[in-house]
Structure 1
Amino acid sequence: MPHYIRAYVPGGSYFFTVALLERHRCLLTEHVDALRAAFISVWRQRPFHINAIVVLPDHLHCLWTLPPDDADYSTRWRLIKTSFARTLAPGERLSDRRQKKGERGIWQRRFWEHTIRDQRDFNIHCDYIHYNPVKHGYVARVADWPHSSFQRFVENGTYPLDWAGDPETIAATGFGE
């Protein structure tokens, strides 16, 4: 069994990638209201700030900042994933292991996390999040993707409406997703 070492920094900011188990499914955008409700429900129990987010059909990226005395993002993700899965009718393919454990086959078990080191790291990850729909070919312009915090960043003056990302900065991230 793999041994994952996660960085837990109280009050830290973190970049996450969370994906569906079956990457060809479009559950996240088809049920974006249920996903939003899951986030809100968990936020009410265990507050956190979503600095940036993009929801794609089969995965999402987001950047959170946790409260000063809190580093428990893992529980938040477990609760979000569970809450969202409960809104979907059963019927997905299940491995023997998932059946034995009584699990759904909606989400990949793990998620990818990166602890944000400084403002430059924060900015690079925000750019990556917002550019992702273009990277995956869903839209030609960042502003055209509806399931993103990009419009909020335009409203607060962080990006111009016609922002297209800096290809060198985005390529420099080395992100595979």
Structure 2
Amino acid sequence: MNWHAHSLRTGRYSERGRIYLVTTVTAGRAPLFADFRVARAVVHELQRSDETGLCRTLAYVLMPDHLHWLVELVEGDLSRVAGRFKSSAAAAVNRELGTPKVRRWQRGFHDRAVRQEDDLVDLARYVVANPLRAGLVKRIAEYPHWDAVWL
């Protein structure tokens, strides 16, 4: 385990009902999600994460080489939810690409617990506007790999 991956877990505390902004990056920052089919397979796995009852997605944007995920923890702990998603998403990517058991994500993830005073609508807008700031599109409606559930 490298020091950086370990440091991301130091002091991590999961609280049911808490909203987190999770960021996770592809292995080697490979732009896997520039492939529409691969990106849609990962989006499907995000939707399936909600179906487990462990979390509730509020907003996400899947960029070519990373994911920003605004998620409410319903049950369990954040590391388990994120790990489960990353595992199922990697399997889905590998099925699409015909590459069994290739590691698709960097180890660990970055998270930030959202404080109650944070404005969730503004944070969700910030998340989904990432493709605009990255210069991938001129209007967010042009980018296919995002969604938000307004509170």
Aligned to 2:121: 123
Moved segments of 4+, more than 4 Å: none
- TM normalised by structure 2 equals 0.78
Distance 1:123 1:29 in 2: 29
- TM normalised by structure 1 equals 0.68
SS of the aligned residue for 2:27 comes to coil
Greater CA radius of gyration, 1 or 2?
1
Aligned to 1:63: 70
Q: What whole-Å deviation, never above 9, does each CA across 1:7-46 have from its counterpart, x for those lacking one?
A: 3112111111111012242336531232133223333334
Aligned to 2:58: 51
Asked if the contact 1:7–1:115 (Cα under 8 Å) also holds between the matched residues in 2, the reply is no
RCO greater where, 1 or 2, for CA within 8 Å and sep 6 or more?
Answer: 2
Q: Compute the RMSD of aligned alpha carbons.
A: 2.4
Offset at residue 72 of structure 1 (A): 1.2
Matched, 1:17 2:23: yes
Aligned to 2:83: 78
Consecutive unaligned residues of structure 2, counting only runs of 5 or more, are none
Distance 1:71 1:47 in 2: 6
**Where is the strand percentage greater, Structure 1 or Structure 2?**
2
Length, aligned pairs only: 140
Distance 1:45 1:26 in 2: 25
